[in-house]
Amino acid sequence: MWKAVLPGIIALVTLGLSLVSGEVIKRDSQVLAFASAAYLDEGRPTASIGRTSRTQKIAAPAEAGRPVALVIGNAAYPDAGLPLSHPVNNARAVADALKDQGFDVELGEDLTKPAMEQALETFKSRIQPGTAALIFFSGFGIQAGRQTYLIPVNAHIWNEGDVRRSGVSLEPVLNEIEAKGAGAKLVVLDASRRNPFERRFRSSSAGLAAIQSPDETLVMYSAAPGKVVNDDAGELSPLVEELITELRAPGQSAEDAFKHTQVAVARTSHRKQVPWVSSSLVQHFAFGEPGANAQFSAR
């Protein structure tokens, strides 16, 4: 009897083992296929909403290394008489030149104090460790208490106290972006115009005061501290006209660009206007070389 049944039992056992093995192999194959797909998908971008690939994560810091700029031109000061002829044109020309050099630029024209403060907050929010940052201002600047204040268009000024209340000081801004780890910090102030409110002051305050800036800062004024310049009839101020030429010189360092601008303005004005440059910049920063700047700006 056993001899008759045994072949059937062996056949059933063999069939069972084959089915189990096949299921295991199938499961293993599915796991292996899933793992392989996940491995391959990990390294390539995906169009699926809500998913972020490793490639996208790696690409983000490269964008963060792009230099940023805040460019402001204030010309229409109702309390100071006729609008200034240069600042808005200056700001637009500088903004265009900086964009051509790879800067991420925010442009503001005829800004009130709240608008200037908001523009500065937006600018500061874009600063990441190593980011090169440039601030350009063209308009009225007034010194009070040995500090320079940039004047918004809605300012009503009768004394030095009003300058401090109505104006915007750059020193706290530079300190804040320094604390955020900014790389090279560049400032251009085309604001050494005669104080339009000086007759209201008890004491004179000609020109701008030197900015107390953090390390790695390069500053250029349209005139030396305490000196003033008058706007001429041109479309752009002499400082901006020469600066734009230097910005477009390929691969030129910021210090060389500012120095060459200073020399050119002094020469063409027959030394009636001599811009002033102050630098504590140690690292190399060259306009139009974002890759090199990201390398040198890293701390």
Looking at the structure, tell me whether residues 104 and 238 fall in a common domain.
yes
Looking at the structure, tell me whether residues 19 and 113 fall in a common domain.
no
Q: How far is CA 54 from the centre of its chain?
A: 26
Confirm whether 157 is domain-assigned. yes
End-to-end CA distance of the chain: 88
Return d(Cα 275, Cα 257) in angstroms, integer.
13
Looking at the structure, tell me whether residues 75 and 26 fall in a common domain.
no
Tokens 């940039």 belong to residue: 150
CATH of the domain at 272: 3.40.50.1460
Return d(Cα 295, Cα 195) in angstroms, integer.
42
207: left (phi over 0), alpha (psi -120 to 50) or beta: left
Looking at the structure, tell me whether residues 79 and 201 fall in a common domain.
yes
Return d(Cα 293, Cα 289) in angstroms, integer.
6
- Joined tokens for residue 209: 């005061």
User: pLDDT digit of tens for each residue in the chain (299 aa)?
Assistant: 444 544 454 444 444 444 434 443 344 444 334 333 333 333 333 333 232 332 222 223 334 478 999 999 999 999 888 899 999 999 999 999 999 999 999 999 999 999 999 999 999 999 999 999 999 999 999 998 889 999 999 999 988 889 999 999 999 999 999 999 999 999 999 999 988 888 887 666 678 999 999 999 999 999 999 899 988 888 999 999 999 999 998 888 999 999 999 999 999 999 999 999 999 999 899 997 654 454 433 33
Question: What pLDDT score was predicted for residue 289?
Answer: 67
Looking at the structure, tell me whether residues 37 and 102 fall in a common domain.
no
Question: What pLDDT score was predicted for residue 81?
Answer: 83
Looking at the structure, tell me whether residues 155 and 221 fall in a common domain.
yes
DSSP 8-state assignment for residue 86? S
Return d(Cα 121, Cα 90) in angstroms, integer.
22
* pTM score: 0.76
Looking at the structure, tell me whether residues 32 and 142 fall in a common domain.
no
Confirm whether 247 is domain-assigned. yes
Looking at the structure, tell me whether residues 25 and 93 fall in a common domain.
no
Facing residues of 106 across strands? 70
211: left (phi over 0), alpha (psi -120 to 50) or beta: beta
Structural domain count, the chain: 2
* Domain encompassing residue 81: 67-297
Question: What pLDDT score was predicted for residue 267?
Answer: 97
